[in-house]
DNA sequence: CGTTACGTTGAAAGGGTTCAATCCCTGTGG
DNA sequence: CCACAGGGATTGAACCCTTTCAACGTAACG
């Protein structure tokens, strides 16, 4: 019989997400050294927190399945939401400079992560230049994401914000090898509203309008984009945003 | 006679900003090695660009005097503004992962910078762990700043946005050793508006209200805060924002 | 099957934007 | 030294969109 734990404990080498995750750009030997640091953790249930504001920073986490919403307050996402993390994303690095987590990550679904103790990672990165570069690139990605968030929030209209947000999600889906036009989205309207600086009511109304115009439908956590072109137009995508989308 | 170029070419060791800049946390010898990489550049005039969107990434820059506004478009800040950089700040790192600048930095005053070639910096950082850590901390600071930007943009009211923004500037001033309640601010209302997702008209109106209520005055590029307490109240500062402010 | 939380829909109200006119400051040239 | 031009700042009024508050519908869970 195949060991049932083998999948759970899949090494970085075998992981389907290695092209999105840390191993990107590392050679086989280095991946093994990285792999030795990684601790696979038992799954978190929806609503459980991976880390809290104020907690000491000890590790970064790679999402394997499920996802997180991250907010700046201890409560489970009642305040402003500053980001979403999906499979292949790495979270926790925002605590790097202070040594203390400044945000709280809450699972939006049943979620599994890989834990990578940071002190060991930092030590290893001094020996593997490309890993060090990876670390910087990771921070850079965080920066790009946060910038996209600001871009979203600076849009005046609710339609623009939502259209661009969904376009972004779609882009992220396709990067993970999933269908970019039809995918599951475990987020609540409320979460999206908190992320975009809107109210759930507005989100609902805009989505209704989108459905009306045959642009997309989002029912029962399933998002289906039927007219990508119109969505692009509504989002007001320009060159610089295009770059952020691709990043 | 004292060599007039000596001030211009002041080493990191003698620089008044070393507590804010890269050398932070480095010992004397390492500062010298860092210093060897730094190129002091002639001053930029108001409106001149330090780097453009699309330009290859070769160096990061530390602001010595003056300041920059950074936007995501090639034109000189006509579109959305994503950040301001003041003395002691380091800019350019957002190009790190792509190798190409994704933003344009334009001087808002007569401005002098130190240029640090990045490839050399990255090489040196592999030899000096604390410098490597500095690099990560720098990225982390960029992240915090961008998060603050998102925080500002997610505020619903114009008063809240402006109040918090000014509070933030004040905090940055005091960190540089300047008067936190009365300082020069080379920004146009228009720049602030573009940064905060508002119109110049709204900024003007809110500032008029602030002056009316004896909270602050901003005339002729001179900003004077007369009632910090009220400003805090208007900004709706909470714990997590407080942390961002201090960061 | 009922409870709870989320989603939807409606009408009213508030605040920022927009557009346009005027003012003010700066720097320029006569 | 003064006059003029230009860009930015101010002020006013009308409009539009989001928020707010409330009620109702609906899906998931025990």
The SS3 call for residue A202 is: helix
B204 beta carbon < 7 A from strand D? yes
Task: Give the single-character DSSP code of B95.
Answer: G
Name the E strands within chain B.
39-40, 49-51, 59-65, 68-71, 81-85, 90-91, 104-107, 112-117, 182-184, 216-219, 222-225
* Positions on chain C within 7 A of a protein C-beta: 6-11, 15-20, 25-26
B127-141 exposure pattern, b = at least 16 Cβ within 10 A, e = fewer: ebeebbbbbbbbbbb
A153 beta carbon < 7 A from strand C? no
- pLDDT tens digits for B174-199? 998 899 999 999 999 999 999 999 99
Residue A192 has pLDDT above 90, yes or no: yes
Q: DSSP letters of B6-59?
A: HHHT--GGG-TTTTTSTTTT--HHHHHHHHTT-EE-PPBPTT-EEE-TTPBP-E
Alpha-carbon distance of A34 to A62, in angstroms, equals 13
The stretches of A20-117 forming alpha helices (DSSP H) are: 28-35
The SS3 call for residue A118 is: helix
Q: Mean pLDDT, to the nearest integer, of A23-29?
A: 89
The chain A residue lying nearest B157, using CA atoms, is A197
Residue B6 has pLDDT above 50, yes or no: no
Q: Is there a contact between A139 and B144 if contact means CB atoms under 8 Å apart?
A: no
Nearest 10 degrees: CA dihedral of B59, B63, B67, B69? Answer: 30
Round to a whole number and report the distance in Å from the CA of A201 to the C1' of D23. Answer: 14
Which among A129, A132, A197 has CB closest to B154?
Answer: A197
In the prediction, which pLDDT does B50 show? 95
Task: Give the single-character DSSP code of B107.
Answer: E
- Position B238 confidence tier, pLDDT thresholds 50, 70, 90: confident
Closest residue to C9 (CA, C1′): A205
Which tokens hold the place of A229? 């072109």
Which domains, from first to last, does chain A contain? 4-139 (2.60.120.10), 155-246 (1.10.10.10)
Alpha-carbon distance of A208 to B25, in angstroms, equals 54
Closest residue to C26 (CA, C1′): B220
Q: Which residues of B touch A139 (CB under 8 A)?
A: 96, 136, 139-140, 143
| pLDDT-wise least confident of A24-33, A184-193, B67-76, B174-183 | B67-76
Q: In Å, how far from its chain's centre is CA B186?
A: 12
Which tokens hold the place of A87? 């499979």
B141 touches chain A (CB under 8 A): yes
Q: How many Å is the Cα radius of gyration of chain B?
A: 18
- pLDDT tens digits for B104-127? 999 999 999 999 999 999 899 989
Cβ atoms of residues A86 and A132 within 8 Å: no
In the prediction, which pLDDT does B5 show? 42
Q: Is there a contact between A82 and B147 if contact means CB atoms under 8 Å apart?
A: yes
In the prediction, which pLDDT does B8 show? 55
Those residues with Cβ within 8 angstroms of residue A232's Cβ, 6 or more apart along the chain or in another chain: A167
| Helix axis angle, B200-212 to B158-175, nearest 10° | 80
Residue in A81, A91, A74, A108 with CA at minimum distance from that of residue A185: A108
B236 beta carbon < 7 A from strand C? no
Round to a whole number and report the distance in Å from the CA of B85 to the C1' of C13. Answer: 40
């Amino acid at each position: 019989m195949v060991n049932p734990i083998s999948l759970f404990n899949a090494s970085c080498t075998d992981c389907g997400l290695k092209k999105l995750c840390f191993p990107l750009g590392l050679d086989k030997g280095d991946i093994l050294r990285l792999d030795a640091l990684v601790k696979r953790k038992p799954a978190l249930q929806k609503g459980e927190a991976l880390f809290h504001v104020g907690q000491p920073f000890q590790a970064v986490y790679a999402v394997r399945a499920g996802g997180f919403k991250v907010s700046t307050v201890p409560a489970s996402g009642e305040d402003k939401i500053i980001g979403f993390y999906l499979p292949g994303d790495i979270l926790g690095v925002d605590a790097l400079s202070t040594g203390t987590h400044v945000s709280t990550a809450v699972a939006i679904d049943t979620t599994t992560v890989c834990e990578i103790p940071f002190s060991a990672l930092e030590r290893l990165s001094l020996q593997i230049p490309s890993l060090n570069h990876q670390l910087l690139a990771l921070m850079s990605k965080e920066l790009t994401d946060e910038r996209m968030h600001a871009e979203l929030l600076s849009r005046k209209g609710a339609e623009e914000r939502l259209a661009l947000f969904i376009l972004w999600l779609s882009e992220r889906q396709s990067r993970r090898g999933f269908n970019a036009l039809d995918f599951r989205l475990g987020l609540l309207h409320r979460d999206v509203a908190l992320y975009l600086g809107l109210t759930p009511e507005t989100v609902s109304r805009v989505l209704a309008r989108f459905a009306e115009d045959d642009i997309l439908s989002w029912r029962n956590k399933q998002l289906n984009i039927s007219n990508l072109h119109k969505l692009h137009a509504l989002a007001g995508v320009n060159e610089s945003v295009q770059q952020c989308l691709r990043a």
